[in-house]
Amino acid sequence: MEKEQAIFLATCIESSNSSIYEIKKLEITGGSLQKFHQWTNGKPTLAAYEVTRPDSDTGYYFLFIDWHRNDNYYLVIYAHDRSTTCAEIRQIQEIDGVPHIVWGYKPFKRDGKNDQRKAYFKQMFGSTTVQIKLPSTLLEVEVFLGQLFKLCQNRLKADRIVDVFDFE
């Protein structure tokens, strides 16, 4: 996404007065996160937040970062334990004249079971492509965050499905 789009989204999240989500801004020093994760340290970062939902005891880190250092910003969502990313979102597309984040489920596990993961994701969630309308007002930020949380939870379910069912 373009830098201006990333700044807009970060501003929406930061300005949100959500009753459902707790949003804590992380400190950016010298234009980047320090000591967050080996994949992020030193990369240009516009903003970063710890977003939690106390009623369900879930949370993620939302980073607006130049992931590949090429002036193309991503919303990278990290698991709350920082062990891995749940989503790396860079594509914004107009759908019926309204900007949406577009993200595709593409598992890259090295166990030969990615086709089963994709099939499960598509069966359960209708498609391997997720489209989430960008908030245009602060009132829409809670819905936006809820859809991002759902995306992450669905992705994790699909990643783990091969541990639940025997596909052999």
Q: Per-10-residue mean pLDDT for the chain, 168 residues long?
A: 95 94 96 93 96 96 96 96 95 96 94 93 93 94 96 93 71
- Residue 124 is predicted with a pLDDT of 87
> Which residues have C-beta within 8 Å of that of residue 36, sequence separation ≥ 6?
26, 48, 61, 63, 82
Q: What residues does each domain of the chain span?
A: 3-164
- Please tell me whether the overall predicted TM-score, pTM, comes out greater than 0.85 for this model: yes
- Residue 163 is predicted with a pLDDT of 81
- Residue 114 to residue 119: CA distance in whole angstroms: 9
Neighbours of 112 (CB within 10 A): 9
- Residue 167 is predicted with a pLDDT of 54
- Residue 162 is predicted with a pLDDT of 81
Beta bridge partners of residue 87, listed in sequence order: 77
- Residue 168 is predicted with a pLDDT of 57
Instruction: Output the CA–CA distances (angstroms, integers) from residue 52 to 45, 58, 131, 163, in the order listed.
Output: 20, 6, 22, 27
Beta bridge partners of residue 95, listed in sequence order: 98
Instruction: Give the phi and the psi of residue 157 in degrees, each rounded to 5.
Output: -60, -45
